[in-house]
Chain A
Amino acid sequence: MSEISTLTPVLTDNWDAERSWTLASYEAHGGYDGLRKALSMEPSAVIDEVKESGLRGRGGAGFPTGMKWSFIPQDNPKPKYLVVNADESEPGTCKDIPLMMASPHTLVEGVIISSYAIRANRAFIYVRGEVLHVIRRLQRAVQEAYLAGHLGKNIHGSGYDLDLVVHPGAGAYICGEETALLDSLEGRRGQPRLRPPFPAVAGLYASPTVINNVESIASVPSIIANGAEWFASMGTEKSKGFGIFSLSGHVKNPGQYEAPLGITLRELIDLAGGVREGHELKFWTPGGSSTPLFTAEHLDVPLDFESVAASGSMLGTRALQIFDDSTCVVRAVLRWTEFYKHESCGKCTPCREGTWWLVQTLAKLERGEGTEADLELLLDQCDNILGRAFCALGDGATSPITSSIQFFRDEYLAHLTHGGCPFDPAASTVFATAGAH
C-alpha cells in the first residue's frame, strides 16, 4: 500500500551525537538556525509558514498547529502564553520524554519560535513530574539558552523578550488533558475545565494561551529552517510531515522510529527487526492504550490521521504497543483499565464510577467467573461512559475494552470455559524462556 520504507530522522537526527543534549552539540548540528531565521520574519509570517507546512498536533488530536496559533486574539490586552504539554503519561507513549532527554534544545528552540509567532513573552513547559532526569536536562538546556542569549530580554537584538519556565507536574495522568494541565500549572488541583471559554481565549490565568505537544513544538524549528514545502513533501496529503513512532512490546528492537506519516506497521516492524522470535503479532495499539486495538489484519493501514480513523481507531501519539500471541488480551485490557481507574480525576460520574466498576467486572472475567452476559454488561458500561464523560479520558478508558471484545470475544469466553486465564502469564514477559507459549 505504502511506498514508504525509509526513516526520515529530523527530530531524532542528533540523538546519537556525543552529549547531544548540550547546547554546543545542538548548535554544531545546525541548532538555533531556525530561530535566527524566525526572528528575521514577522510573527504572522511564522504562523503562515507553519500553517502552510500542514503540521498537525502531535499530541493525538491532530489539530492543525498553525490554525490553533491564529486563534489567539491579538487585540486582547492580557498577556499571551505558550504552554508545552510535556506531561507524557499515556501507557505506551514514549516519544516526548526521549526527545527531551536526548535533545532538549530542539524543544527549547521550538518554544522560542512558537512564542515569537503568537507574541507571547512567557512560556511554560509542563513536564511530567516522575521524569526527574528529563526535568534536569530541560532546566540545564533552558539555562544554557539564557546564557547564549536565546532566551531573556531582547533576544539576539530583535527586541523580542521571552522567559521560559520548566514546571514539573505532580504525577497525575489527568494533567495531560490541556485544561487540567492549566489548572495544575496555576497551582490548583488538576481537573479539566468547562469549555467554553477555550484556552485560546481564556487559558492560563484567564489569558489567551496556546497549548501544544512537545513534538509539535519541536517540529517547528525544522519547518522554519527548511521551509513549509520541505515539511509538506513528506507524509500524506492530509497528514503531512514526519513523526516519531514508538515501538514497544514484542518486537526485536523496540524504540523510536522517525518516519513520514503514512508508514505502515508492517514496514515499522520490519525496521524493528520483526516481532519476537517464534511468535506472531496478535494485537497492537496504534496510538497508546486509549486508542482502539488493531490486529494483524491492520498491518497495512497507513499510519496517518485519516486512514487510522477510517479503520476504526485513532493515530493518537503513535505509541505502537506490539503484543504477540503469548499475551492474554483480557489481562492486558484489565491492566489498562486499572490504570484508568487509578488515574480518573474524579470530577465526573461516568469516568469516576464507571472505571471503578469496569475493573471489577473485568477482574471477574479474568478469573473465569461470571457469564457471557457479563460481556454485554461490560459493553453497556462502556456505552454509558463513552461520550458521557466530562473530558476525553473517560472515552479513552472504554477503547481497549470495546475493541478487544470486538476482536477477541472468543478469548473472553475461553476464560469462562477454562475457569480462568488459559495463558501462561510468564510467557509474554521479557524473561520468558524461548519457545514459551
Chain B
Amino acid sequence: MTTSPERTGAEVEHVTLTVDGVQVSVPKDTLVIRAAEQVGVQIPRFCDHPLLAPVGACRQCLVDVPDAGNGRGFPKPQASCTLQVAEGMVVNTQATSPVADKAQQGIMEFLLINHPLDCPVCDKGGECPLQNQAMSNGRGESRFSEGGGVKRTYPKPINISANVLLDRERCVLCARCTRFSEQIAGDPFIALIERGALQQVGIYEKEPFESYFSGNTIQICPVGALTSAEYRFRSRPFDLVSTPSIAEHDACGAAIRVDHRRGKVMRRLAGNDPEVNEEWITDKDRFGFAYAQLPDRLTYPQVRDESGELRPASWPEAFAVAARGLRAAGACAVLPGGRVTAEDAYAYAKFARVALGTNDVDFRARPLSAEEASFLAAEVVLRGPGDGGVTYADLEAASTVVLAGLEPEDEAGTIFLRLRKANRAHGTRVLALAPYSSRGLQKMGGRLLPTAPGDEPAVLDSLVGHSDFGLDASSVLLVGERLATVPGALSAAARLAHRTGARLAWVPRRAGDRGALEAGCLPTLLPGGRPVASPDARVDAATAWGVDRLPETPGRDTDQIVSALRSGELGGLVIGGVDPDDTSDPAATRAAIEAASFVVALELRETEVTRAADVVFPVAAAVEKAGMFVTWEGRPREFPAVLSVPHALPDLRVLAGIAEELGAPLGFRTVTEVRAQLTEMGPWDGERATLDEAAPAGAASGEGLRLATWKQMIDDGSLTDGEPYLRATARAPIARVSPATYATLPAGTAAVVVSGDRGELTLPVEVADDMVDGTVWVPARSAGAGVLAALAAPGSPVRLAATETPATPAGASDPAHHGGVQ
C-alpha cells in the first residue's frame, strides 16, 4: 500500500472528503494523512513513510474523525497514516480540533520522556523531524523532567555495521529502518527486539547489518538514532550547502543531494526522483565520494621533460606540448573511459574526429566485442523514454523480466530495488541467466535459468516459445555489458526480443557509458547515433561541425587500439579514466601504453597511466563540474557543479585547449557551449545500423572449470578509495562452486587456489547449491589485482586446487592494485 504514483493510465476513482472544513477530492484508498497534505495541512508523523507500508505505531498523527463517511464518527482519535479516505468523510486535524491537538501533544510528550534531548550534540539537530515537530506540536516544558522522571539510558552508540551506528536512547521506535530493510532492500538484518520502553533495534550478534542499501535507514530515521561512521560529528546541517546531483557510481542515474561545506563534500543523501530511484540510493552512491578528496589528486598539469621526468607545467604549455606530441606521433587514438559525463564524452568524440582525424575512439575500457558495437548501434543508441526505450516504470509494470549478463544487486542497485518492488507488488517474474541463484535474485523472488558462461545464446534461444516462460510484449529483457564477452549472446538477445515482442534494454555498469554511446565515443558511431558507415550521417555531422569531411573508415575498438599501439600502427594515445586492470587484457593494455610514442592522460589522481604519460592533465571530478549522465534507459539527467575548484578543468575544456593548439578548434570551451552544440546537432533521424549477428562460439576449449565472474557493488574499485567504513561493508571475496565440484576437492577444503592463464587467486571456497557444474564463480575485482589481470578472461577455463593457505581477507589486497583511476 505504498503511494507511489500509479502509472496505469486508467481513470482512478476519486472520493471527496472534508479536511478541516476544506473539501478535497483524492484517489480512492489514499491515506488521510496524505489527503490532508492536499489541503495544506501537515499532520506530524514519525513511523509514516510514503514508500513503506503503513504501520500506525507511533500514534503521532492522530486526528479526529467526526464522520467516517457513513454518518457515524469514530469515538477515539484515529491514526491518519493508516486510515483510508471514504466518500463524505470528515476529518479534523490539530488545526481545527482540540481533541486531535491534545492527542498529538500527548504523544509528543510521551515520545520525549525517554529521549535524551541531546539536540545540541546530535547530528540530526537542525534537520530533525522530532525536533521540528516537538516545536510545532509539543509543549515547551517537560512535565516528566520537572517531576523528576528517570529516563531509560543505554551505552551509546553501538555499531550495527561498519558503516551504521545506533544510538538507542534517541530512537523513537518508529520502525522505519527495520521496515525499509525488510520491505525495500530485503536485508532484514535489523529488527526490533525486547519490549516496552526497552524495545530497541537489534542485530543478531553474528550477523551485522549487511546491506548495500543500509544508508537509506540513516536518512529516513526521523531522529538522530542512526548515524553513519563517516558523517557522525562532522558537520551541522545549517552549515551545509546542498546541491542536487546524479550519482556517478553506476548507470542507474539515481538522484542524490550533495552537501558541502567550505569546499569539501561532507555527505551525500538520496534525492527524490520518482521516475528513477524514488527515494533510495545504494551505499556506494551515498558514501563513495572521498576518492575526489584524497591527497593524491592531481592539481596541476605535468609534461615530461628532457630528462624523462614529469614536471609541473602551466596549462598553456601543457596544451602546446600535448598538441605538438600528438602531431608528431602520427596516427592517434582516444580512450575516454566509461565515467565521463555526456558533455565530456562528446568532447572526446569530436576531438578524435575533428582534431585527430580518426574514428579510433571507444569508451569501452572493459571486455568488449565487435558484436557489441553493432548491437549498440542497432538496438540501443537513441532509444529512450518515449522512444521505445525501457524505463524503470516499465520494469515495474512488466509481467516478466529476463536478466542476462546482469546481476542487478551488484551492478545496478536501483534496478534491483525496482525489480524487487515489482515482484512484491505485482508478482513480476524475474528470470536470470546466471551460473547460480545469487542472494539478489532470491530477494527479487527470481528464478534461475542455470547458464554456464558461454551458454547464454543457447538459453536465450530456448526462451523463444518456451512453454513455461512465454515472453510477450509485456516482458522486458535486460542485458548487461558482460554479455559482450559471450559471442552470439547479444545477437540471441536481439533475436529473442524480435521474435517474442519483448522489449530490450542494455544495462552498462558505468555512469558515463550510455552517454558516451549517445555522444559518439564508439568507432562506428558519431554523436547522436550517426553511423560512421553512412555517408549521409557523416555529411550531417561534418556540416554541424563546420568541417569539410570526417574520417570515413570505421575506427578501431579498444582492443584493436591496444594491438595497433603495440604493433606501431598507432603512435599517439589520448587516455581518460582507464584502469588497465579493467580492460580485456590488462597486460596488453599496459604494453600498449608503454609502446605508444606519445600519451596524453586526463586523470583525477596519480595512476600508473599518468606515470607513464607524456602530458598529464588534472581533470574535474563529477562534483566539480556541471554535466549530464544518461541512465541505462536513455534518460538524460543533468546536474550542476557542486564545488568550484581552481586546480582541475572538465575533460572537455582540456580537449578544447589541445585542439586549439592543433589548429582544429572544437568550437566550445564550456559545458554550456557543449550542450548548445549537442542540442543543435540533435539525434540522427536517418536509418539505423542493422545488427551484424555473430555466431555462438560453443563451449570453451581446454580442460578445467569455466570462469564466471562479475564485479560486486563494493569491491576494490577506485571510486570507493578513501572510505574505509564503506569498504568494510564489502562482501568477503569467495569462490563459489557446485556441490559436485566441491566433492572433487579434499574433504573439508576451506580455501582454494583458482589458476588460469594469467595467474592465480587464493580464495575461501563455498558451495552454491544450484551452481552449474563445471563452473566456478569469482568476484571480479575483490581480490588481488582482479580476475582479468590475475586470473583469466571470463568464460575461459581455470583450475581449482585446495590450499592450506589462509585466503586473503576482504580489503586486504595489495593497495597498489586499488588503482588511482578516475
Contacts and interface: CB of A to CB of B under 8 A. Distances in A.
Interface stretch (B55-63, B408-416, B658-666): B55-63
B539 to A, nearest CB: 65
Given A357-B149, A383-B106, A349 B196 contact: no
11 contacts: A349-B59, A349-B173, A350-B59, A352-B110, A352-B199, A353-B111, A353-B114, A354-B110, A364-B148, A377-B143, A377-B147
B197 A350 contact: no
B448 to A, nearest CB: 27
A344 interface: yes
Given A387-B76, A388-B77, A388-B107, A356 B148 contact: no
Interface string A317-359: 0000000000000000000000001111111111011111100
B197 A352 contact: yes
Nearest to B56: A194
Name the residue among B54, B62, B144 with the largest chain A CB count within 10 angstroms: B144
A255 interface: no
B56 A390 contact: yes
Interface residues of A, number: 35
A346 B195 contact: yes
A353 B198 CA distance: 10
Listed from nearest, the 3 A-B pairs whose CB atoms lie closest are A384-B106, A346-B199, A387-B76
A131 to B, nearest CB: 20
Contacts of A356: 113-114, 152, 196-197
Nearest to B110: A353
Interface string A379-401: 01101110111100000000000
A360 B106 contact: no
Nearest to B74: A387
Contacts of A387: 75-77
Interface of B: 54-60, 62, 75-77, 82, 102-103, 106-107, 109-111, 113-114, 143-144, 147-150, 152, 172-173, 191-199
A361 B113 CA distance: 13
A357 B144 contact: yes
Contacts of A381: 106
Given A345-B196, A384-B107, A387-B75, A353 B113 contact: yes
B195 A344 contact: yes
Contact of B59 (A345, A361, A377, A389): A389
Contacts of B114: 353, 356
Contact of A352 (B102, B103, B150, B173): B173
A192 to B, nearest CB: 10
A186 interface: no
A47 interface: no
A364 B147 contact: yes
A391 to B, nearest CB: 10
A194 B31 CA distance: 14
Contacts of A380: 106
B106 A388 contact: yes
B196 A344 contact: yes
Given A352-B173, A356-B152, A364-B148, A390 B57 contact: yes
A121 B103 CA distance: 45
Contacts of B144: 357
A409 interface: no
A6 B377 CA distance: 94
Contact of A350 (B107, B172, B198): B107
Contact of B103 (A341, A348, A384): A384
Interface string A215-245: 0000000000000000000000000000000
A384 B109 contact: yes
Contacts of B198: 346
A79 interface: no
Given A388-B76, A388-B77, A345 B195 contact: yes
A189 interface: yes
Nearest to B84: A196
Contacts of A383: 102, 106
A174 interface: yes
Given A350-B106, A360-B149, A377-B143, 7 more contacts: A194-B56, A349-B173, A350-B110, A352-B196, A356-B152, A356-B197, A364-B147
Given A354-B110, A384-B110, A349 B58 contact: yes
Name the residue among A350, A360, A374, A380 with the largest chain B CB count within 10 angstroms: A350
B147 A346 contact: no
A397 B799 CA distance: 68
A387 B197 CA distance: 19
Contacts of A390: 56-57, 59
Interface string A277-298: 0000000000000000000000
A189 B192 contact: yes
B56 A388 contact: no
A172 interface: yes
A174 B109 CA distance: 24
Nearest to A387: B76
Contacts of A341: 196-197
A370 interface: yes
A194 B55 CA distance: 7
Contacts of B60: 349
A370 B107 contact: no
A350 B196 CA distance: 11
B106 A346 contact: no
A364 B143 CA distance: 14
Given A377-B143, A389-B59, A349 B172 contact: yes
Nearest to B197: A356
Contacts of B197: 341, 344, 346, 352-353, 355-356
Nearest to B108: A349
B734 to A, nearest CB: 30
Contacts of B193: 189
Contacts of B57: 347-349, 390
A341 B110 CA distance: 14
A126 B799 CA distance: 56
B560 to A, nearest CB: 59
A353 B57 CA distance: 12
Nearest to A377: B143
Contacts of B147: 360-361, 364, 370, 374, 377
Contacts of B150: 360
A353 B58 CA distance: 11
Contacts of B149: 357, 360
Nearest to A173: B195
Contacts of A348: 56-59
B196 A355 contact: yes
Nearest to A188: B191
Nearest to B149: A360
Interface string A177-194: 000000000000100001
Given A349-B110, A354-B110, A364-B148, A388 B62 contact: yes
A374 B148 CA distance: 12
A194 B79 CA distance: 11
B196 A343 contact: yes
A343 B197 CA distance: 10
Nearest to A354: B110
Contacts of B75: 387
Contacts of B56: 194, 348, 390
B612 to A, nearest CB: 59
Contact of A388 (B55, B82, B103, B173): B103
Contacts of B109: 384
A72 B459 CA distance: 47
Contacts of A385: 106
B434 to A, nearest CB: 31
B143 A349 contact: no
A347 B196 CA distance: 8
A381 B147 CA distance: 13
A75 B678 CA distance: 62
A265 B595 CA distance: 104
Name the residue among A348, A361, A385, A389 with the largest chain B CB count within 10 angstroms: A348
